[in-house]
Amino acid sequence: MSITSEQSTGPGSTRATTTALANTSGHGSPATDKIFSGISLAAGVLILVVLAAVAIFLVAMASDTFAADPTELTGGKGFASYIWPLVVGTLIAATIALLLATPVGIGVALFISHYAPAKFAKPVGYVIDLLAAIPSVIFGAWGASVLAPHVVPFYNWLGKHFGFLPIFEGPASQTGKTILTAGIVLAIMILPIITAMCREIFLQTPKLQEEAALGLGATRWEMIRMTVFPFARAGIISSVMLALGRALGETMAVTLVLAGGPFNPSLIQSGNQTVASEIALNFPEAYGIRMSELIAAGLVLFVITLLVNVLARFIVSRYNTGVE
């Protein structure tokens, strides 16, 4: 007992006890730190190696397309004239999806984190998360067989009342398989990404800041605007850009929904196509220069996705450092 008392009341007892616990538990060990650092470095290098390997493969396989005579390619006018409508269709579908999914996703995340009772918020969160587990082919089949026929009356209405706008120029497709339908399906697919990420970020807002705003007389919505949104701004941008990357690269859902054919500037007419769906529809039967052309299209999509992620990192780092 005397030994224990002396150790517990000695001047260096706290420091000694802390050091002993750290040594026995393995925390702070230089060897452990080196192992963990090495594993982390290897994982980062592996990602860069795989990314570089994919880029090298795409460039090598697409080189025949860039060196070929324009008349040998699809359309006979060169690769640029072939890929440009596909890129525009891809960007249009992704933009429609973001415009529809972003406000809904942020709103649902706010409802779950700051408005809904706990007993109700958890089931809603689980349902949103389950949407991310549904295969994309299911979304595509639902969009083609269920959603597309039901939106035809709405497309006819758009063509009748807003047909003076090029994007709603009629006559509307009577199958409903248009780029607007594909955008709606993509919006449903990326909704869980935006909602889940925003929900977690909203929940991490410092409670002291929220309570201080409420204590000063702010309403709940004013508190959200003053504390939650500024705190979560970088996270919201990250979730939106991640969802954009998913929308740009989606293949099966868009392939099943779109009718195919040449590009059409109207959102309610059939004929629009995306890079991913073009590759999926034609790659199984492609050979020779046609296969190289499709791989070159994949290279373009790879570059677009890479640029989107680089832009996302730049925007997030800009907001995190407080640069306006």
Summarised one tens digit per residue, pLDDT across range 107-166 is 989 988 888 887 888 888 888 888 878 888 898 899 888 998 999 999 999 888 888 888
* CB contact at 8 A, 195 and 109: yes
Angstrom distance (rounded) from CA 190 to CA 202: 18
DSSP string, 181-235: HHHHHHHHHHHHHHHHHHHHHHHTS-HHHHHHHHHTT--HHHHIIIIIHHHHHHH
Query: What's the mean pLDDT when you consider all of the chain?
Result: 81
Correct CATH for 41-66+73-321 of 1.10.3720.10, 1.10.1040.10, 1.10.510.10, 1.10.10.10? 1.10.3720.10
CB burial of residue 145 (10 Å; 0-12, 13-18, 19+): exposed
Confidence of residue 12 (pLDDT cuts 50, 70, 90): very low
pLDDT at site 36: 87
> What are the φ/ψ torsions at residue 62 (nearest 5 degrees)?
-95, 0
pLDDT digits (tens, 9 = 90+) for 18-74: 444 445 444 557 888 888 888 998 998 999 999 899 999 989 888 888 877 777 777
pLDDT at site 27: 54
pLDDT at site 324: 41
- pLDDT above 60: residue 250: yes
pLDDT at site 221: 87
How many helices and strands (H and E) does the chain possess? 15, 0
- pLDDT above 50: residue 82: yes
Confidence of residue 284 (pLDDT cuts 50, 70, 90): confident
Q: How much is the average pLDDT of 238-249?
A: 86
For the chain, which residues make up each domain, given as ranges?
41-66+73-321
Q: How much is the average pLDDT of 77-81?
A: 80
* 188 vs 218 pLDDT, higher one: 188
pLDDT at site 232: 86
pLDDT at site 263: 76
**Most distant CA atoms of the chain, gap in Å:** 96
Of residues 290, 296, 299, the one with CA closest to residue 72: 290
pLDDT at site 28: 57
pLDDT at site 187: 92
pLDDT at site 102: 92
pLDDT at site 49: 93
pLDDT digits (tens, 9 = 90+) for 200-225: 888 888 888 888 888 888 888 888 88
* CB contact at 8 A, 74 and 290: yes
DSSP string, 53-75: HHHHHHHHHHHHHHHS-GGGSGG
- pLDDT above 50: residue 7: no
